[in-house]
Chain A
């Protein structure tokens, strides 16, 4: 197996897009391609991460459509759909194509245009991820699953609404430093929880989760360009190595898990990624976690191995996960504030780690990072991909 490097990375502005889905993905892909110096070399294969183009944007076969829109024929093209973890799954497939020796230059682009439909349609479309007969028919949504999970977690570990708000406040504040983030709005504990207007500013979405505990509905795209590590020096001065990945699945119906607070697929995916990279959680300089709901950042920060069980909220309270802290989490603003265009998310987490490892993260730059960790969480944790990136020599 060959080592694989990321030689180009790019993202569009997240938010409400004026462009079509294909134009969004083409702009991100063009950014990643021109980020490297390809010297006229052609791209061998394209992997596209997307969940809803056929339903929301009237475009099926999105990978073939992107190759056509860009004019990258005759590159091989495949769409990768793994719900909200489509992005990391697509990067994984690109990695395998290069590592196996089958391809040299592989483009991975993730994108979603969710705001082409209204919010109810978007909620409905994402709720298709739940179990059709044991969850969906009851009106279960992803926020509802997260609410039931949050209640269990908060009761078990003494996590409060203030802790959840701390995640939102931190990630909103990080997003203020990220020009491509969807939400650029500073929030305070007073404003979202304690002021007389808090009830109105921050209503319940799925108790105990409130509006500011949930990610927005976003449009956006992100892309990376992969090459064999041994050739990376021809294309870029700052290669970033994909040093580990791991993936695991779990029951689709959340109620069927022996302990619904234990995210087994998160634990297994992370362990596999650390084993492959030959690293321990303490070696990681920064992480992008899948904070579609604030409670998930706390839960994942423990279950991937950064903090002991029941102490994620304490590390958060102490500021350890802030940009200047011991382990910065979601420097990009996370799904919470950078935004969550479903197919783009996993790729954009990796793009943020690339920017950080190259020292190009501007005002949110972490000091001298060496290894970055990303967790992309599909469904409600029934298909999870962990990726570790390492700064190239």
Chain B
């Protein structure tokens, strides 16, 4: 099954917001269409987190915020050994966590 992570595109003014809000931050409209978070972006900041919440067996997780070329930012996991701010990355969707025995899919970024 193909998984996607969706942002919301305002049907009135065209602004894309991620995550979604009930009211458009630009024009106040409540009418949105789904648009996939996808493509390339630039790594804004990142951390290697060693104190992890439940359900992770990893030693650490590499997490980051990416400025997508789509004009939004997104938080996700980085499959990058030596991340650095400003590098170009590509988004994909994959398993990011198990919650109550169910696999949750989300954004994963690798270097391009």
- Contacting B63 at CB < 8 Å: which of A123, A131, A139, A209? A139
Interface CB pairs A-B, < 8 A, 8: A121-B54, A138-B107, A141-B49, A148-B47, A148-B65, A255-B74, A256-B17, A256-B18
- Is there contact, CB below 8 Å, between B51 and A139? no
Which chain B residues border A359 with CB–CB below 8 Å?
none
With A and B bound together, what is the CA distance between A255 and B75 in angstroms?
7
- Contacting A138 at CB < 8 Å: which of B19, B54, B96? B96
With A and B bound together, what is the CA distance between A123 and B50 in angstroms?
11
Q: Choose the segment among A81-89, A199-207, A227-235, A240-248 that binds chain B (4+ C-beta atoms closer than 8 Å).
A: A199-207
With A and B bound together, what is the CA distance between A149 and B63 in angstroms?
12
- Is there contact, CB below 8 Å, between A139 and B65? no
- Is there contact, CB below 8 Å, between B97 and A138? yes
Q: With A148-B47, A151-B85, A255-B73 as given contacts, are A134 and B53 in contact (CB-CB < 8 Å)?
A: no
CB closest chain-B residue, reference A155: B85
CB closest chain-B residue, reference A203: B50
- Is there contact, CB below 8 Å, between A139 and B77? yes
Chain A's interface: helix, strand, loop or mixed, by majority? helix
Whether, in the assembled complex, A254 has its beta carbon less than 8 Å from a beta carbon of chain B, the answer is yes
CB closest chain-A residue, reference B74: A255
Whether, in the assembled complex, A320 has its beta carbon less than 8 Å from a beta carbon of chain B, the answer is no
- Is there contact, CB below 8 Å, between A139 and B53? yes
- Contacting A148 at CB < 8 Å: which of B46, B54, B97, B104? B46
- Is there contact, CB below 8 Å, between A148 and B50? no
- Is there contact, CB below 8 Å, between A152 and B75? no
Q: How large is the interface on A (under 10, 10 to 19, 20 to 34, 35 or more residues)?
A: 35 or more
Interface residues of A (CB under 8 A from B): 119-121, 123-124, 127, 131, 133-135, 137-141, 143-144, 147-149, 151-152, 155, 203-209, 253-256, 260
With A and B bound together, what is the CA distance between A207 and B44 in angstroms?
15
Interface residues of B (CB under 8 A from A): 17-19, 44-54, 56, 61, 63-65, 73-77, 85, 96-97, 99, 104, 106-107
Shortest CB-to-CB span from B41 to chain A, Å, is 11
Which chain B residues border A124 with CB–CB below 8 Å?
53-54
With A and B bound together, what is the CA distance between A207 and B48 in angstroms?
5
Which chain B residues border A143 with CB–CB below 8 Å?
49, 51
CB closest chain-A residue, reference B76: A138
CB closest chain-B residue, reference A121: B54
- Is there contact, CB below 8 Å, between A138 and B51? no
Which chain B residues border A151 with CB–CB below 8 Å?
45-47, 85
- Contacting B64 at CB < 8 Å: which of A119, A139, A148, A253? A148
- Contacting B50 at CB < 8 Å: which of A133, A134, A152, A204? A204
- From B45, B64, B74, B76, name the one whose CB has the most chain A CB atoms within 10 angstroms: B45
Q: With A121-B54, A148-B63, A256-B73 as given contacts, are A139 and B48 in contact (CB-CB < 8 Å)?
A: no
Smallest CB-CB A-B distances: 4 pairs: A147-B47, A124-B53, A134-B19, A255-B73
Shortest CB-to-CB span from A138 to chain B, Å, is 5
Q: With A127-B53, A255-B73 as given contacts, are A137 and B48 in contact (CB-CB < 8 Å)?
A: no
Which chain B residues border A119 with CB–CB below 8 Å?
51
- Contacting B53 at CB < 8 Å: which of A123, A206, A255? A123
Shortest CB-to-CB span from A105 to chain B, Å, is 40
- From A123, A137, A207, name the one whose CB has the most chain B CB atoms within 10 angstroms: A137
CB closest chain-B residue, reference A204: B50
